[in-house]
Amino acid sequence: MPWLSYQKALNRALGDELARDPAVFVLGEDVRVAVSNVTAGLLKRFGPDRVLDTPLSEQAFTSFATGAALGGRRPVIEFQIPALLYLAFEQIVNQAHKFSLMTGGQTRVPVTYLVPGSGSKTGWAGQHSDHPYALFAHAGVKTVVPATPEDAYGLLTTAIRDDDPVVVFAPAAALGVRVDVDFDALAPVPLGVGRVHRAGEDVTVVAVGHLVHDALAVAEELAGDVSVEVFDPRTVYPFDWDGLAASVARTGRLVVVDDSNRMCGIAAEVVATAAERCDLTAPPVRVTRPDGAVVPFALGLDLAVQPDRAQLTAAIQKVLKQ
Amino acid sequence: MALLTTVAAHAPDTDVGLYRTVRLIRRFEERAVELVRSGDIIGGIHPYTGQEAIAAGVCAALRLDDMITSTHRGHGHVLAKGADPARVLAELAGRATGLNKGRGGSMHAADFALGILGANAIVGANGAITAGAAWAARQSGGDQVAVSFFGDGAVNQGVLLEAMNLASLWRLPVLFVCENNGYATTLTVSDAVAGTITGRGEAFGMPSATVDGMDPRTVLAAAREAVDRARAGGGPSLVECLTYRFDAHHTWEHKARVRYRDDAEVLSGRERDPVEIQGVRLAGGERARVDAEVESMMDTAVAFALDSPHPDPVGALDHLYATGMRARPGGGG
C-alpha cells in the first residue's frame, strides 16, 4: 500500500472535496503557490476562481468567507499561522458562529478554517507558536485536532461538508507523520467520535493531536509494567464524552495530555467532566503547557513549555500510585 | 408570507413610493419607541428617525433579489428592502412570530428570502460579509448587487477598510453606503475622522460621492448610478449620505440624559425632515391617503406583535447549529 503523509492527506482531502462539490473553494494567503504545501496543485486543477489568493487582510477575508457561505458556497480558509485566528476571532466567533441562531435558523455558515502547522514549530517564537483550540471549543465553534493522516483526511472532509463553521487544527508536530494506507479506504470521520488507539486496563490517557503519538510511545515503553489505554478525542468540540466515560469505566484512572495552556484548557474540561460523570479511583492528572504560556524562542526554552513524554510518564506513574 | 403589504409591492422608486417608505419607517420607529417605554420591547432600540431618506432611496434602486446588510440602527433598511413591518416589530418585541423567531431582536433582523442578510451589531463588521455575498452571487452567474449600510463610526474600523480594498480589487458588485449622521454614539465626526469619508473610498479606487442624505430623491439618484455601475461590472462605489439623527443614539439616552448635542443643534438638525421634504411632493389627498394606510398598517403591526406568543424557553438554543447538533446543557446538569 502507498505511504500517505499527514500533510498530503490534507491536500488530498481538499482536492477531493473541490472535485466533488463545485460550491467548495479555498482562499487564504499564498495558497496559489502553496507556501504551506497543503494547497499544492489545486490552482492547476481547479483554476483561480476556486483557489483565491487574498491580500493580508485576515479580518476581511474571514468575513468574506462568511458572506460567500451565506450565498451558498463552502469556503475553506487556510491560515498559515495559528495566531492569525486571534485577528479573526470576532469574525469567526461573533459573526460566522452566531448567524444560525441569531437569524432563527434562516441560514447556515459552512466555513472551514484550516490551520496547517498549529502549535510550536520550534524556533518560531512567541507569535507563531500557539495552539488555541480550547478557545474555539469554549466559544462553541466545532473544532477538530486530527492526530493521524487518515483522520486528517477524514475530519477535514467532514468539516468541509458540515453546515456549521469548523476549525481544523493540524499540529505542526503531526504534519510529517506517515502511514501505509489504502487510499480507497480514506473516508469521512464523523465529528465527536473519539478513537481508542491502544486498548489498556490500568489508566486512560486522553491525548490531543500530535500528542497521541507521544502517548502511544510512552504506552509502549511502559507496556511491561502498565497497561495504558490511549484515547484520542479527534474532535475537541463536540467532545466524545461517552467514549471518554466508557474508557475511564474500564480503567478507573485518567491522565490528560494536551497542548493547551493549563487554565481553561481542554485538559481542564476533560478532568472536570470525568469528575462529574466517572467513578475515578485516583485523582486525575493533567499534562499541559503552563498557565498563560508565551512560547520563548530558544530551542530549550520552547521545548520547556511543551508537554513531553517524561512528564506524561511521570503523570501515569503518579495516578497509578493511588 | 407577509401579513402586511410590504414596500416592494408599491413601486418604491416613485415619489409616492419614496414617501410611503419614509413615512412607514418614521411611524414604525415612533411606535417602537412607545413600546420601549411601555416595556414591551426590552433592551431598547437605536432609532433611525431622521435618516429615513437613505434607506428609502437606496433600497428603491434595488431589485428584490439584490442584497443588503445593515447595522445596529437597522429597522429602516430592513423595512425599505421589503420586510413585513408586523414581523419586524414582533422581532423587536422578542416574539416567536418575529423575523428571527425572537432570536435576534432589534440589532439582528434578517430576512434571507428578501436578500436581507442581517443587521449587525458590530460597527463596520458587515462590509466584508457583503463583499463575500456579492462575490458568491457573481460566481453563480447572477448580476445581483449587495449594499453595505454603515455609519460614520465605521469608517475608522480596519475590517471595513480591508473590505473596501477587497471589493475594489476584485471589482465586486457592492455599494458602500455611509450614513454620516455626525456622531459615532457621542463622538463627533470631526473628533473621530482624519481626512474624509469619501477619501477612504477614493484611496481604494472607488467612485465616491457625498450627497444630501435628507432627500430621498437625491439618495435614489446617487444609489441608482452606483447600483447600475456595479451591476454592469464596474465595481463598487461609496456614497456618503449626510444626515442627522433626530432621536437618541439609543433609547437608553431617554433616561440617561447624556449631553453631547445642545437643544439648538438638535432643533436645527431637525429642520430638514425627510418625511416633509418628500411629503410636499405629493398632492394633499395622496399624502393623507398614504398616511392613513401607514397608520393602519402600524396599528395592525403593533397588535400582531403584542398578541404573538413568546418563544418557548425550552428551545432557547434552537438553531445554535445548522446541523441540529445540541449543546451540552448548562445549569447543574
The full set of domain ranges for chain A reads 3-185, 195-320
Q: How confident is the model at residue B257 (pLDDT cuts 50, 70, 90)?
A: confident
Q: In degrees rounded to 5, what are phi and psi of residue B212?
A: -70, 110
DSSP A91: I
ipTM of this complex: 0.96
The one-letter code for the residue type at B25 is I
CB contact under 8 A, B128 and A55: no
Nearest-CA distance A68 → chain B (Å): 4
The CA distance from A219 to A255, in Å, is: 12
Q: Are A144 and A179 in contact (CB under 8 A)?
A: no
CB contact under 8 A, A108 and B322: yes
The one-letter code for the residue type at B189 is V
Over residues B143-158, the mean pLDDT reads 98
For CA atoms A238, A239, A240, A242, give the dihedral sign.
negative
Cα-Cα end-to-end distance for chain A: 45
**What homologous superfamily does CATH list for B7-307?**
Thiamin diphosphate (ThDP)-binding fold, Pyr/PP domains (3.40.50.970)
Nearest CB to A72: which of B111, B136, B319? B136
DSSP B2: -
Chain A residues with beta carbon closer than 8 angstroms to that of B125: 63, 90-91, 94-95
Residue whose C-alpha cell is 449594499: B147
Number of neighbouring beta carbons within 10 Å of residue A19: 12
The CA distance from A113 to A132, in Å, is: 13
Dump pLDDT digits (tens) for B76-135: 999 999 999 999 999 999 999 999 999 999 999 999 999 999 999 999 999 999 999 999
Per-residue pLDDT for B8 more than 70? no
Distances in Å between the Cα of A223 and the Cα atoms of A217, A313, A321, B164, B276 are 10, 12, 17, 60, 86
Instruction: Say how many CB pairs under 8 Å bridge A and B.
Output: 150
Over residues B191-202, the mean pLDDT reads 97
Nearest-CA distance B103 → chain A (Å): 5
Chain A residues with beta carbon closer than 8 angstroms to that of B167: none
Q: Could you tell me which residues are beta bridge partners of residue B262?
A: none
Nearest CB to A102: which of B100, B131, B140? B100
Which triple of cell numbers denotes residue B168?
475594489
For CA atoms B259, B28, B123, A93, give the dihedral sign.
positive
CATH topology of domain A3-185: Rossmann fold (3.40.50)
β-bridge pairing A24-28 and A74-78: parallel
- Report the pLDDT value the prediction gives residue A229, as an integer from 0 to 100: 98
Per-residue pLDDT for B1 more than 50? no
Expressed in percent and rounded to 5, the helix, strand and coil fractions of chain A are: 40, 20, 40
The CA distance from B134 to B148, in Å, is: 10
CATH class belonging to A195-320: alpha beta
β-bridge pairing A254-261 and A285-289: parallel
- Report the pLDDT value the prediction gives residue A248, as an integer from 0 to 100: 98
In DSSP notation, B162-210 reads HHHHHHHHTT--EEEEEEE-SEETTEEHHHH-SS-HHHHHHHTT--EEE
Per-residue pLDDT tens listing for chain A (322 residues)? 789 999 999 999 999 999 999 999 999 999 999 999 999 999 999 999 999 999 999 999 999 999 999 999 999 999 999 999 999 999 999 999 999 999 999 999 999 999 999 999 999 999 999 999 999 999 999 999 999 999 999 999 999 999 999 999 999 999 999 999 999 999 999 999 999 999 999 999 999 999 999 999 999 999 999 999 999 999 999 999 999 999 999 999 999 999 999 999 999 999 999 999 999 999 999 999 999 999 999 999 999 999 999 999 999 999 999 7
Over residues B238-267, the mean pLDDT reads 94
The one-letter code for the residue type at B276 is E
Over residues B156-179, the mean pLDDT reads 98
- Report the pLDDT value the prediction gives residue B284, as an integer from 0 to 100: 86
Q: Could you tell me which residues are beta bridge partners of residue A285?
A: A255
Between CA B284 and CA B294, with CA B289 as vertex, the angle to 5 degrees is: 125
Which triple of cell numbers denotes residue A273?
467532566
β-bridge pairing A203-207 and A228-232: parallel
Distances in Å between the Cα of A20 and the Cα atoms of A4, A163, B64, B115 are 21, 16, 32, 28
Q: Is B319 left (phi over 0), alpha (psi -120 to 50) or beta?
A: left
Chain B residues with beta carbon closer than 8 angstroms to that of A75: 132
